[in-house]
Structure 1
C-alpha cells in the first residue's frame, strides 16, 4: 500500500547561481562571478516533500505560500505526487539564493516573508492530517510551528500515527506526543546547553534532551558519522554509515527526515527507520546533495542509495597511485564466504604493488557461474567485508560473467588470479594486452575453498 505522508513546514524556493571566479572586482575586494548558471529547486519543507514523494509516498505539503511569481515557480518544481495545501503567509514566498564559484558557496541572499497566523486550522489541513499515515514537521523557524492551533492538531495526530519533528534553532519545541525528533549535533548542543564531542557525551546529551522534550525517541544526525538514536531506557543505538565523498551537505537533513518518515509510515520499527535514513542521507550527499537535485530536478529515492563500491573510490585510488609512479594491482572473483585462502591471496597480491583493487562478481554474475543456489552472501555484504581488509584499497562490483569492462576502466598494471588458473592462459589477458598489463597467478592456501565450506555445513546441518 502506498503510504500517505503529510509534510508541514515552511517551503522555500532555492536558487543556485553557479559560475566561474578567476578575478577580483576593481571596486571592492570581492570575487567576480562570470557567466553564472541559474539552477532552481524546491527548498525547506518543499524539498522534504519532494524527497518523500521520491520514496514512493503520496505527499501533501502544507505550507505558508504567498500569491506571487516565486510561489508559482516553486509549485512548478514539485513532482506531481505532491499536493500543496497553501496556508496563510505574511509577505512574499521565501527565496534562498546561493552564489557559487566552481561549486563553492560565496554568499547567500535570503528574501521573503514569515508564516501568517491563524487560530483555526484550515479545513483542507485538517483533512490532510486525518488521512495521513505519518506527519513530518519541517521547522524552518519562520513562526509556523509556534502557532497553538497547529501544535494541537499535530499533537492529536501523534496519538494515531508517527509524527517526526525536524527542529530549527528559531523554531518551536516539538508538539506533545511527537514520536521522533531529529536535531543535528549543533542543535543538540543548543538544546542541552552543552558541547558534547565524544559519542558517549552525545548519547548522554541526547537522553537528557529527549526526556526534557517528552518525545518518544530522539535521533541525532552526526554527518559523516551516521546517527545516534535514544528511546526509552535502552542504551543509545549508533548507526555508522560508510564514508562518502561529497562537498555539499545542503539538504541532507531533509533527506534524513523524509526517509525516516516514509519508513515509519510503512510500519518500520524506529531503529529500522533511523538506520535507513542515515544511509539515505549519506547516499544523498555522495550523489551531490541538493545541488545535484537542482541540476536535474529528480530526487534520488532513499532505497537507491549510491554505493561506494561503484567504481568512484577505485578511480580515485588508481589516479593517486599512478600520479606517484606506483603499481596498480587488481584481482577478481566471487569471494562468497570469505575464507583464509582468499585472505592469503589478497594479502600476497597487495604486496606486488602499491594498491589493490578487487573486481567482485555481482549476485547475478555469481548465479550464472555457480548455479541458482549461489551466492550465499549478497554482493553488498561481500563488498563490505572485502573493503574492511587492510590489504584491499577499493572494491568494484561488476555485472558480467567476466570483468573485461571493469578491467578496461581500471587498467591495472598487474592482474592477479588464484592458483587454480595455473597451467593455461588467463581469459582476461587479451584485454590486458590493450595497455600492456601483465597477469600473474598466486598459489591458493591448501585445503581452503568455499565449495568445501558449503559441503561441510550441509553435512553438519
Structure 2
C-alpha cells in the first residue's frame, strides 16, 4: 500500500466563474454581432478556489486561505465549495471578483469581469495555518491575498515546498520557492519588467521561454521555474540548461483552468515528496488529461469531482472507470489496450503510443499476478503487479490503468466500454474473444503494427543465457 496523499494549504485569490453556453446561427439585425440562443448556465469556483477544488479531487485534505465578504458572490462561492475544502476566510474589501464567459459550440465569444474586491488584511488564524503547513500552493490572481501573508509565506518557503503560480497583476514570488509556474506570456512579462527577455518571436517560443525562465530563477531567487507552454508542455529551469517536458498528446478542448490543474498537481506531488522534475512531469500529464477530458465542463458546481483513490494494488481500476466516464461525457474517444506487460519493452511502448494518438484517453487493462500465472506458468510474472502498474502509469501516453483477475478482460471491458480496443498486429490472424463484446456497444477493435523481435519471453530467455545472467545474478 502507498501512503495517503499529503495535505496541502492553498493561499490565493478566489473567484466565482460563470459560463453561458449556447449556439449561434445568425447575427443580430441591429449590429454585426452573434446571437447566442438556447443558453445554459454553469457556475463553479474559480482562481485559487478552483486550484483548491482540484487538489481536493486528488484525495488531499485541502485548506484554502482566501478573501471573502458578505456579498452574494462570496455566499455563492462558499456554497459551491461546500465541505470539500477547509475554508479560512480573510476579510474582503469590496465584492468578490467574478468572471463570466459566453461560449458557442464550446468556443469563447466574450468574457465579462466584475468585482474588484481585495484582501484587506491577514488574520492570526491564517498566519498559523501557513506556519503549520507541510506544503503550500500560492495561487496569486493579483487581488492581495498573497500580499497580506507575504511575511509568513517567506518564512514558509525557507522550510517547506512552496509552489507559486504568479499573475502579472501581482508581485513576484517570495524568495526561496521550490517551484514557480508562470505561463509563457506571464514569464515574458515578468522578465521584461526587469529589463530582460528577448524579443517575443513566435517562431522562437522555446528559446524565449528558456531565457525568460533562466532570468526569473535568478530574479526571483527561486529553486526552479516551470514555464507552461499550452499544448506543448512545460519548460523547467533550475538556472542552467532547461528540461523540456512535452505533453503526451495534443489535447483539443477548453483550456480554462489548465494552469490551476498544473499548479495543483505539481504542489501535491512535491508535498508527497516527489522531486521537482517528477512533479512537473506529473503536472503536464494531469493538465493535458484535464483538457482532453473536457476541462471545466466536467466540473459540477454542486459537488467537487470524486477524489482519486490511492495508487495501491487494485485501486487504479476505479480511477480508470472514472477517467473513461469523464472523457465519454465530454464527447471524447476512450481507447483501451490490454496485456500482461511483464518486462515492459519497446514493442509495448510503441503500441501504447500509437493507441493513445487515436483517441482522447488511453486506459491500459493489465492482468493480475494470478491471471499471468494461469496464462504463462508458475515462473511468471517476472515483475509483480504493483511494479507493472507503476511503470505503466509513468508512461506519458497512459492516462489510467485497470487491473483484471480473469484470464481475459471481457468483464472489465464491459465496465469500461471503450470506443476503441487496441491490439498488436500479431493478433491479425486471430479471432479475438472480446471482439463481439466490443462490437455490442458499437466499439471497434483496431490492430496496430508490432515491432518485430520484441517479446517478454525472448528478452527473459536472452538474459538467462547471457554471461553473468540468471546464474551470475544468484552469486
TM-score tier, shorter chain, comes to 0.7 to 0.9
Taking the TM superposition and a 5 Å limit, the aligned residue runs for 1:142-221 are: 142-145=143-146, 147=147, 149-193=148-192, 194=198, 195=200, 197-221=204-228
How well do the aligned residues superpose, as a CA RMSD in angstroms?
Answer: 4.6
Once the two structures are TM-superposed, the CA of residue 54 in structure 1 deviates from its matched residue by: 1.7
CA contact (8 A) 2:14 2:47 kept: yes
Once the two structures are TM-superposed, the CA of residue 71 in structure 1 deviates from its matched residue by: 1.1
In structure 2, which of residues 285, 306, 309 is the aligned counterpart of residue 279 of structure 1?
A: 285
In structure 1, which of residues 436, 446, 454 is the aligned counterpart of residue 460 of structure 2?
A: 454
CA contact (8 A) 1:255 1:280 kept: yes
Aligned position for 1:18: 21
| Partners of 2:39 and 2:235 in 1: CA distance | 39
C-alpha spacing 1:386/1:456, structure 2 compared with 1 (3 Å) = farther
| Partners of 1:99 and 1:411 in 2: CA distance | 34
Aligned position for 1:117: 120
Aligned position for 2:195: none
Note the alpha carbon deviations across 1:353-399, whole angstroms, 9 max, x for none: xxxxx9976233656533573374847867999989xxxxxxx9995
Once the two structures are TM-superposed, the CA of residue 257 in structure 1 deviates from its matched residue by: 0.9
| Partners of 2:24 and 2:144 in 1: CA distance | 37
Question: What's the TM-score once normalised by structure 1's chain length?
Answer: 0.75
Question: Are positions 1:363 and 2:367 aligned together?
Answer: yes
Name the SS for the 2:375 alignment partner.
Answer: helix
Once the two structures are TM-superposed, the CA of residue 301 in structure 1 deviates from its matched residue by: 5.6
C-alpha spacing 1:455/1:209, structure 2 compared with 1 (3 Å) = same
Aligned position for 1:140: 141
In structure 1, which of residues 234, 256, 259 is the aligned counterpart of residue 262 of structure 2?
A: 256
| Partners of 1:221 and 1:397 in 2: CA distance | 30
CA contact (8 A) 1:12 1:45 kept: yes
Note the alpha carbon deviations across 1:110-135, whole angstroms, 9 max, x for none: 111231433xx311111211221112
CA contact (8 A) 1:244 1:283 kept: no
CA contact (8 A) 2:92 2:119 kept: yes
Note the alpha carbon deviations across 1:173-192, whole angstroms, 9 max, x for none: 11132222111111112122
C-alpha spacing 1:29/1:275, structure 2 compared with 1 (3 Å) = same
| Partners of 2:293 and 2:267 in 1: CA distance | 21
| Partners of 2:393 and 2:149 in 1: CA distance | 47
Aligned position for 1:322: none
| Partners of 1:11 and 1:265 in 2: CA distance | 22
Taking the TM superposition and a 5 Å limit, the aligned residue runs for 1:84-123 are: 84-118=87-121, 121-123=122-124
Question: What's the TM-score once normalised by structure 2's chain length?
Answer: 0.73
Name the SS for the 2:177 alignment partner.
Answer: coil
Count residues with an aligned counterpart: 420
Aligned position for 1:5: 8
Note the alpha carbon deviations across 1:51-95, whole angstroms, 9 max, x for none: 121223222211121202211111111152412122122221111
| Partners of 1:258 and 1:432 in 2: CA distance | 36
CA contact (8 A) 1:66 1:90 kept: yes
C-alpha spacing 1:8/1:74, structure 2 compared with 1 (3 Å) = same
Unaligned ranges ≥5, structure 2:
193-197, 352-361, 471-475
